[in-house]
Each structure stands twice: as structure tokens, then as C-alpha cells.
Structure 1
Amino acid sequence: MEAQVNSVSRAAVYQLHLVRRLRPYLPADCLARVVHALVISRLDYCNALYVGLPLKVTRKLQLIQNAAARLVTGGSRRDHITPVLKDLHWLPVRFRAQFKVLVLTFKALNGLGPVYLKERLHPHRSARTLRSSAEGLLAVPSLREAKLQGTRQRAFSVVAPALWNALPSDVKAINNYLTFRRHLKAALFREAFNL
């Protein structure tokens, strides 16, 4: 995945450089739209694949998102980035990837997504009745059940149930897609910024 991340980084940095030249000519709201369309969209493309990657690999993407946030707000490189991301209501790259996986999981569980993803998700079955039985937990396959040796820790069938089970039960209980997205982003936002 390092080659993929390097390719995305190069393209995003190039677009960020071009947008930086336009900054004096664009009002703030237009600048934010252009940055989102040209830079952030590149970071979000196929970002579900970034879940579980080492931080040294995703750090490049996070630095680009930080630069984009500073460009939109007019901050300097010395300003701390956490308040800037919080004000823009942008999730850090790692949480954006988790958001994408959890949205795909919701779609698969509710019949809105592809069938091949739904086939990878199975409800958790316990040998006896527990209080957690009603929480909508998913079974996390063992390492033996996950097929690909090199990427099994990052496979959808392993990552999606683990992330889904870590969600608050009130978020998992939501049936409406748009409501789920809103509550999911709020939950990840609280986790990312320790609110």
C-alpha cells in the first residue's frame, strides 16, 4: 500500500500547490469547496483500504490533510492542527477510513450494499444467552478463517466486525442511512478529539 499512498500523496500535493496559487482570488467559502473537491476527495478515494495500515504510511496523507486545513483557514505551519480540524469538523485520515468501512458495513447489513460484502458479515452467536446478545454484534473471524495471510488483519471480514462491535449500541441500532451517517460521524468525532 505504500506505492498507493505515495501516488495519492503526490497527486494531492500537486493539487494543493495549484489551489494555494488561487487563494488570493477566491473567497473563503469557494476556497473550502475547491480544496474539498481537488484535495480531500483524493484522500478519500478508496480510503477504506487504509484501515489497519501502520501510522508511518498514513502519516503522509494526514500531513496533506493538515496542510489543506491550514490553507482553508489561513493558519500558519506552526499552529497546532487539532483545533483547526475540529473547527472545520474534519475527521483525521485514520477516522475517515473507519467511517468509510462502517458506512459500507451499515449498507451491507441493511441490504443497501453489495451482496458480496453482506456474505462476509455474520451475527455473533454465543453458546449461552448474554446481555450482549441484543446489541447487534458481529462475529470477528479467527485468523485461520481469514484467507489472505499478508492482509488478513486488514481484510473487510475482520476489520468491519471489529469496528462495528466497538460502536456505541445506540448508533448500531439506527436503521436510517442518513441518520446513521450523522450519528456515526459524531461518535468518531468524539473519539478522534476526546470530547
Structure 2
Amino acid sequence: MFDDDCLMTSQVNTISKSAYFALFRISKIRNLLDRATTEKLIHAFVSSKLEYCNSLLVGIPQNQLSKLQSVQNAAAKLISRSRKYDEVSPILYDLHWLKVEFRINFKIMLFVFKILSGHAPHYLSSLIERYVPGNHSLRSGDLNIVTLVRTDKHKKTKENPRTTTKRYGWRAFFVVAPFLWNELPRSVRKSPNLVTFKSGLKTFYFKKQFNL
């Protein structure tokens, strides 16, 4: 569901409602379940809803993001049998879960890695490209950083006076993806394969989330 203002309010509300209903049903049988089984049910019926097409939620307003984070917090507390007002950060740490915002960024970064590896559809690979410095002797050329592909429709003209960021904001994939990618450690950006990349990316966001 898309809103006229592209804030994804309807989508967030739908996800939250559906996920809370699933949590309610699982909570009714929680006393009959061990932790491992509860976690599997949470992943199948709650986390999957938060993950589905979550890259579309990048850059949504904080109040919308908080709704989804509240769902994840409730899910974590149900798994750990914690009370409603218990601090959630230690629980997320124990579960080794990334918060919703970082899960969204994680998905965006997977797309970028696949683009740079030549395994992404053209409609995505045409949006960003590797940065090639004008002076090829510069070390920045070996950093594996990316930049927005500038096309006629992205340029400022009389017919289209708005710049890319003013028109699409930080929610646009081709705007936010280079920003998120270029802040990753060089070791993560230079990962030799997807498995290594995902592991390094998870570690980077996990440490960032908990200020480690």
C-alpha cells in the first residue's frame, strides 16, 4: 500500500496490525512452548511480516518506524518471557537481533552488493555504479565505493527544476543506497562473496546498534 505522500503509513499500519494479531495468538499458547519453538513461530509469523519488502520502508518517519520497532520489541519479550516494561535492549542483544531500522538498511545493502557483483536486475543496477576517480592514481578507486548514476531525469532542468534529493528525498533507493554503502567499513565492502558480506554486515550493524 502506497500513500500519496509516500510515507508508507498504510503499509506500516497493516504490517503492525497483522503482526500483533499473530503475536496475540502465539501468546495464548506460550506456556505450552519452549523457547526454541516460540522463536521459530515468531520468525514464521511475525518477523517475516517485518521483513517482507522492508527495503521500501527505508527513510520512513520516526513515528512510523517506532510502530514497527514496538512489534519487534513485543516479539522479543514474548520469546524471553519478559514483562511489558522490561528494558528491551538486553533482550535484543541476547537474541542477536538487529532493530527494524538496521534490518531495512541490511536489505538495501544486500541489493547493492548484488548490483556490484552483477547479480541484480537491470532496473536496480542502472541506478548506482562504482565510483571511478578522475585521477586513477588516487587510492579512492580501490575503496569500492559507489555513486548515484546521473541520468537526464535526475538532472536539474527548466522542465524538472527539483534536484534528485528534493524530489525523492532520502527515501529513494538510488539516493540512500550509496550513502549507506559508503559508510560501511572497507573490509565489508570488499567482501569476496555474499556469505562473507552478510556476516560482516550483520556484525557491523550489530556493533553500531549497541555501541560496541
Q: TM-score, normalised by structure 1?
A: 0.93
Structure with greater helix percent: 1
Shift of 1:149: 5.5
Query: How far apart are the structure 2 equivalents of 1:75 and 1:18?
Result: 17
Contact 2:23 2:46 in 1 (8 A): yes
Query: How far apart are the structure 2 equivalents of 1:132 and 1:105?
Result: 18
For residues 143-184 of structure 1, the C-alpha deviation after alignment (integer angstroms, 9 at most, x for no partner) is: 954768653421111111111101000000012111111111
2:145 equivalent in structure 1: 137
* Residues 1:107 and 1:53: Cα distance change in structure 2 (over 3 Å): same
Which shifted more, 127-136 or 25-34? Answer: 127-136
Shift of 1:127: 3.4
Contact 2:106 2:202 in 1 (8 A): yes
Q: Percent identity?
A: 38
For residues 8-31 of structure 1, the C-alpha deviation after alignment (integer angstroms, 9 at most, x for no partner) is: 100001111001011011111101
Runs of at least 5 residues in structure 1 that lack an aligned partner in the other structure: none
Contact 2:50 2:68 in 1 (8 A): yes
Contact 1:141 1:158 in 2 (8 A): no
Which shifted more, 94-103 or 77-86? Answer: 77-86
1:72 equivalent in structure 2: 79
1:21 and 2:20 are equivalent in the alignment: no
Query: How far apart are the structure 1 equivalents of 2:116 and 2:141?
Result: 17
Q: What's the C-alpha RMSD, in Å, of the aligned pairs?
A: 1.9
Which shifted more, 44-53 or 86-95? Answer: 44-53
Query: How far apart are the structure 2 equivalents of 1:73 and 1:55?
Result: 26
Contact 2:126 2:149 in 1 (8 A): no
Runs of at least 5 residues in structure 2 that lack an aligned partner in the other structure: 1-7, 156-162
Query: How far apart are the structure 2 equivalents of 1:153 and 1:3?
Result: 19
* Higher Rg of the two aligned structures: 2
Q: TM-score, normalised by structure 2?
A: 0.86
For residues 47-78 of structure 1, the C-alpha deviation after alignment (integer angstroms, 9 at most, x for no partner) is: 11111112111100000000000000011112
Partner amino acid for 2:82?
Answer: G
User: How many residues matched?
Assistant: 195
Q: Where has structure 1 moved over 6 Å in runs of 4 or more?
A: none
Partner amino acid for 1:131?
Answer: R
1:187 equivalent in structure 2: 204
Shift of 1:96: 0.2
Query: How far apart are the structure 1 equivalents of 2:130 and 2:193?
Result: 20
2:37 equivalent in structure 1: 30
Partner amino acid for 2:43?
Answer: H
Partner amino acid for 1:91?
Answer: L
